[in-house]
Amino acid sequence: MLIYKIFRRAEWNDLVTQGQTSGAPVDLADGYIHFSTAQQVMETAAKHFAGESDLVLVACDATALGAELKWEPSRGGALFPHLYRALHHADITWDTSLPLGVSGHIFPEGLV
C-alpha cells in the first residue's frame, strides 16, 4: 500500500540534498512525519496547503517503512500513518509535482 507526503519545494530540495528529512516544522513539533492514504491526501492538501503552489507529492510503500510506521487516529478519528524516524530518499517510491489549479491541487490521474 502506498502512502503519501506533501512537501513544499524547499523541504523537498533539502531532503534530496541531505538524503533524509525529519519532516516539515509541523512534523518536528509533533515528533513524527505525517503521511496520508490515497483517500486522505486530497483533504490534507486542501486543509494544510490551501493556495500553496510548488509542492511535491511523494509516495512510499507503507510496509517498507517498517515498524516505525504507526497508524494513529487523527482528523475525525480516521487512522493516519505516522513515521517515527527520518524519511530517507531511498524510502520514496516516486515523486511528482503537485500543481495548484483553479479549484485546488491537481493530483496524478488514478491516485484517488
What's the average pLDDT block by block, 10 residues per block, for the chain (112 residues)?
97 98 96 97 96 97 98 91 98 97 93 72
pLDDT value at residue 112: 62
Domain ranges in the chain are 2-105
CB-CB contact of 100 with 34 (8 Å): no
pLDDT value at residue 87: 98
CB-CB contact of 21 with 15 (8 Å): yes
- Topology of the domain covering 2-105: ADP-ribosylation fold (3.20.170)
- pTM for the full model? 0.95
Instruction: For residue 88, give the H/E element and its range.
Output: strand 87-88
Q: Which residue from 11, 81, 8 is spatially nearest to 39, judged by alpha carbons?
A: 81
Q: What is the largest CA-CA distance in the chain?
A: 39
pLDDT value at residue 110: 87
Helices (H), the chain: 9-18, 25-30, 41-48
At residue 50, φ and ψ (nearest 5 deg) are: -55, 130
